[in-house]
């Protein structure tokens, strides 16, 4: 009993470390976790008091718990069995596939990352790159939205800056959960987007099991009241025009919706426009095979940032004009479905998609660059400053008469024309000769891209001219 046992020093050190870890895990860590959880709950309560739309408990659920809940959802398990049978594979293999899809989709929202970093970062980036403005906003209708409803912001997709801009501008309303494409699945962007509550989707996937897992996640989030933001067009606009709505996410939302028992869903149309889209040359670049894909290139991004820093240092930096966001009149899904009582669900989804795109198009703001580009293209010849301003003034009056919002800096139309023209001349898209302004032939397609941003506002005029 009293014999001396000798052990090596390294073994004693390891034993001491393991004992210390055990003490921390059993005695101290529960207290630390309790303190951090209590502090987090206080932060969430404080945020919910300030926000118009509260952060729902669903969004705060631990990611592992949410993955297990999604994987073992009865409808997903039914899809697993059906997929295993159709593909002639063991159910265990199909279940592993479903779990992998769930891990890919489910976010890991962090209130501290969203409100402590993302909001500040989005504000810094947005205001550093643009003069940010809020255009038309139906404030009364937005204030009257039932806070117990699921609010979904639906917007046109002009730039990858859309995420940054809208996150910043709705920071006082709620925390948004974005449906993000596969382009963002790169380190460390993927981790940041997950922490902000974004979920990834494979837009072109035809795998039925994947689509069922995605559909159930969207439905569960919608049922739980998670505020979301989606792009009905499904991708960035390549030509600047509003695209046809992709109905995938809308079909998931409506597929499980019951007007009598489900939580109401309210869609808020959002229209965005920029005096300069940072990716405009990439988006409008012609290709040999007719396919164009936006891919994140670190080298191009670093060159862009280095150039911006150099311009700031040399005092030659100009922000990229104005970025403007407008909020339209909300659409209540319950009320919308009441107006289609006997329609098939497919017809309801198509009608809703068309109505959303119409309302989004109506609130897309008219900015100086888009207007000047439109006027120069319609003139189709060199024009002097006086004629340019006259045509712009007339166009503004026509748009205003139809209730279309135009952002006129300092409420000075002459100044607005000069701002738009300066943006185009600085980028060598418009050239001046003998006091007249004309489009540079090699850049006409980019000028057309900016004019297309508001082309839908003139669709009735084109139809009248045709008839």
- Has residue 254 got a pLDDT over 80? yes
The answer to whether the CB of 172 falls within 8 A of the CB of 51 is yes
The answer to whether the CB of 399 falls within 8 A of the CB of 457 is yes
- Has residue 464 got a pLDDT over 50? no
- Has residue 311 got a pLDDT over 90? no
Q: What are phi and psi of 314, to 5 degrees?
A: -85, 0
Q: What is the pLDDT of residue 467?
A: 40
Burial of 363 (0-12, 13-18, 19+ CB in 10 A): buried
Q: Determine the average pLDDT of the residues in 18-23.
A: 74
Q: How far apart are CA 181 and CA 198, in angstroms?
A: 10
Q: What is the pLDDT of residue 57?
A: 76
pLDDT band at 11 (very low <50, low <70, confident <90, very high): confident
CATH number of 104-363: 3.40.1130
Question: Integer distance in angstroms from the first to the last C-alpha of the chain?
Answer: 109
Measured CA to CA in angstroms, residue 291 lies from 235, 349, 398 at distances of 13, 29, 37
Identify the weakest region by mean pLDDT among 93-97, 220-224, 227-231, 342-346.
Answer: 342-346
Q: How far apart are CA 447 and CA 369, in angstroms?
A: 9
Q: How far apart are CA 441 and CA 94, in angstroms?
A: 55
CB atoms within 10 A of CB 77: 15
Identify the weakest region by mean pLDDT among 55-64, 94-103, 234-243.
Answer: 55-64
Scanning 109-202, the segments in alpha helix (DSSP H) are 111, 119-129, 139-143, 161-169, 189-195
Q: Determine the average pLDDT of the residues in 309-337.
A: 85
Identify the weakest region by mean pLDDT among 84-98, 156-170, 323-337, 411-425.
Answer: 156-170
Q: Determine the average pLDDT of the residues in 405-410.
A: 94
Residue with tokens 């559909």: 215
- Has residue 264 got a pLDDT over 70? yes
The answer to whether the CB of 325 falls within 8 A of the CB of 134 is yes
Q: Determine the average pLDDT of the residues in 376-383.
A: 94
pLDDT band at 381 (very low <50, low <70, confident <90, very high): very high
Q: How far apart are CA 24 and CA 171, in angstroms?
A: 38
The answer to whether the CB of 135 falls within 8 A of the CB of 325 is yes
CATH number of 368-466: 1.10.10
Name the helix (H) or strand (E) containing 152.
strand 150-155
Output the average pLDDT for the chain. Answer: 84
Q: How far apart are CA 313 and CA 403, in angstroms?
A: 42
Q: Tell me the pLDDT tens digit for each residue of 388-406.
A: 999 999 999 999 999 999 9
Q: How far apart are CA 212 and CA 232, in angstroms?
A: 19
At 197, list the tokens. 């509550």
Q: Determine the average pLDDT of the residues in 180-201.
A: 70
Q: Determine the average pLDDT of the residues in 170-178.
A: 80
């Amino acid at each position: 009993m009293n014999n001396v046992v000798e052990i090596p020093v390294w073994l004693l050190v390891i034993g001491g470390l393991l004992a210390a870890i055990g003490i921390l895990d059993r005695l101290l860590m529960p207290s630390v976790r309790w303190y951090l959880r209590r502090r987090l709950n206080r932060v969430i309560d404080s945020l919910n008091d300030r926000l118009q739309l509260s952060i729902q408990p669903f969004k705060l659920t631990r990611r592992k718990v949410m993955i297990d809940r999604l994987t073992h959802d009865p409808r997903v398990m039914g899809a697993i069995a059906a997929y295993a049978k159709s593909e002639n594979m063991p159910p265990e293999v199909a279940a592993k596939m479903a779990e992998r899809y769930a891990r890919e989709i489910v976010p890991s929202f962090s209130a501290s990352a969203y409100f402590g970093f993302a909001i500040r970062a989005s504000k810094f980036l947005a205001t550093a790159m643009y003069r940010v403005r809020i255009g038309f906003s139906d404030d009364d209708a937005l204030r009257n939205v039932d806070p117990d409803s699921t609010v979904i912001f639906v917007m046109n997709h002009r730039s990858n800056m859309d995420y940054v801009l809208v996150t910043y501008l709705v920071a006082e309303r709620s925390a948004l959960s974005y449906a993000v494409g596969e382009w963002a699945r790169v380190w460390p962007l993927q981790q940041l987007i997950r922490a902000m509550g974004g979920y990834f989707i494979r837009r072109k996937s035809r795998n039925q099991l994947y689509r069922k897992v995605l559909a159930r996640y969207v439905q569960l989030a919608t049922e739980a009241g998670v505020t979301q933001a989606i792009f009905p067009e499904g991708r960035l606009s390549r030509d600047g025009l509003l695209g046809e709505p992709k109905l995938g996410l809308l079909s998931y939302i409506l597929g499980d919706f019951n007007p009598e028992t489900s939580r109401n869903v309210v869609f808020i149309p959002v229209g965005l426009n920029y005096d300069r889209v940072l990716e405009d040359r990439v988006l409008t670049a012609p290709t040999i095979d007719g396919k164009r894909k936006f891919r994140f290139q670190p080298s191009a991004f670093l060159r862009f940032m280095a150039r911006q820093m150099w311009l700031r240092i040399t005092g030659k930096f100009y922000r990229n004009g104005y970025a403007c966001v407008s909020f339209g009149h909300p659409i209540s899904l319950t009320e919308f479905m009441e107006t289609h009582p006997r329609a098939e669900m497919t017809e309801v989804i198509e009608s809703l998609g068309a109505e959303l795109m119409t309302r989004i198009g109506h609130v897309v703001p008219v900015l100086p660059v888009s207007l000047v580009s439109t006027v120069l293209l319609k003139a189709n010849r060199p024009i002097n400053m006086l004629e340019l301003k006259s045509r712009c003034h007339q166009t503004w009056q026509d748009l205003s008469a139809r209730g279309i919002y135009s952002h006129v800096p300092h409420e000075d139309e002459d100044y607005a024309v000069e701002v738009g023209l300066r943006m185009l001349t600085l980028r060598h898209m418009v050239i001046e000769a003998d006091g007249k302004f004309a489009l540079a032939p090699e850049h006409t397609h980019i000028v057309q891209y900016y004019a297309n941003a508001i082309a839908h506002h003139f669709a009735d005029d084109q139809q009248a001219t045709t008839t």
